[in-house]
Amino acid sequence: MENYTLIDSIGTQHTFHKVPQRIISLVPSQTELLVDLGLESKIVGITKFCIHPKDLRSKKAIVGGTKKVDCDKIKALVPDVIICNKEENTLEMVETLRTICPVWVTDIVTVEDNFKMISDFGNLFDCVAEAENWNRKLTLALSDFKSFIQTKPVKKVAYFIWKKPYMVSGSANFINELLELNHFENVFANQQRYPEVEPEKINANGDLDFIFLSSEPYPFKEKDVLEMHIFTQPAKIVLVDGEMFSWYGSRLLKAFDYFKELHQKL
């Protein structure tokens, strides 16, 4: 390919003189997507949280986490591009990494954003056919899930992501998008991002149907269910798979099957 110019999700224009051959990915879900697009051999660095596929961390250089990385280690890997995300990575990190090579930043809030990211990766890494195939599969799965969910009643939920302090998902994020898709009315959708809450106050009106305790980023367990139950009766407290509600990319295909199973259990 000759020189080509693309614009990422936050409006940064990038001009590449060749297709990037050495990729560092600092977002676990996007690492999984890159592998599913057939780009595993081009990935040279990942985070310690990039756990899918399971054997990837034994094959690739670990350069840190999503909030803090070893810049010297990244420089030594001589990357052509670094893949980040507006929410997962910090602005300070992105600005520092831009002194090494181009940093492609995604911003995923809606399912449409997810389709666009996959298409962008297809153009960026010259794997358009693979990207189109994934978007086709996801489009079919989304249509099927919308048919499944169509007759399900809307239920009120609070989705917890953190403890000490307790934090929930508000609006303007991918979790809220998937809650809405599932006919779950997020009672904190009137607040932005991830507000702190007092659990003893969240069900003051007694109209909450479910409290979801996510497996990530805080790993809620059964003991947390018992603890939360003291505050929030009579809402049903459910441990949910955080990857399915918060990972974008190709993970969404598995998420639709997970959501169907979740609704059957509820």
CA-atom Rg of the chain in angstroms: 19
The domain limits of the chain are 4-141, 152-265
147-176, pLDDT tens digit by residue? 999 999 999 999 999 999 999 999 999 999
Identify the segments of the chain with pLDDT beneath 50: none
Rounded CA separation 21/8 (Å): 18
**DSSP 8-state code for residue 82:** E
Given CA atoms 120, 36, 106, 183 in this order, what sign does their dihedral have? positive
Q: Which CATH number is associated with domain 152-265? A: 3.40.50.1980
Q: What local confidence, expressed as pLDDT, does residue 40 receive?
A: 98
Rounded CA separation 239/91 (Å): 32
DSSP per position, 103-152? EEEE---SHHHHHHHHHHHHHHTT-HHHHHHHHHHHHHHHHHHHHHHTTS
Quick check: pTM over 0.75?
yes
Rounded CA separation 132/65 (Å): 30
Q: Which CATH number is associated with domain 4-141? A: 3.40.50.1980
Rounded CA separation 228/219 (Å): 14
Q: What local confidence, expressed as pLDDT, does residue 199 receive?
A: 87
Residue in this structure with the two tokens 């269910």, named with its chain if needed: 225
Helix (H, G, I), strand (E, B) or coil at 57: helix
Rounded CA separation 257/135 (Å): 16
Q: What local confidence, expressed as pLDDT, does residue 1 receive?
A: 65
Given CA atoms 101, 64, 174, 86 in this order, what sign does their dihedral have? negative
187-210, pLDDT tens digit by residue? 999 999 999 999 888 887 778 999
Whose CA is closest to 188, among 156, 224, 220, 232? 156
Ramachandran category for residue 183: left, alpha or beta (phi over 0 → left; psi -120 to 50 → alpha): left
Task: Spell out the long-range contacts of 100-104 with Cβ–Cβ below 8 A and sequence spacing 24 or more.
Answer: 100/71, 100/74, 100/75, 102/14, 102/16, 103/12, 104/8, 104/12, 104/14
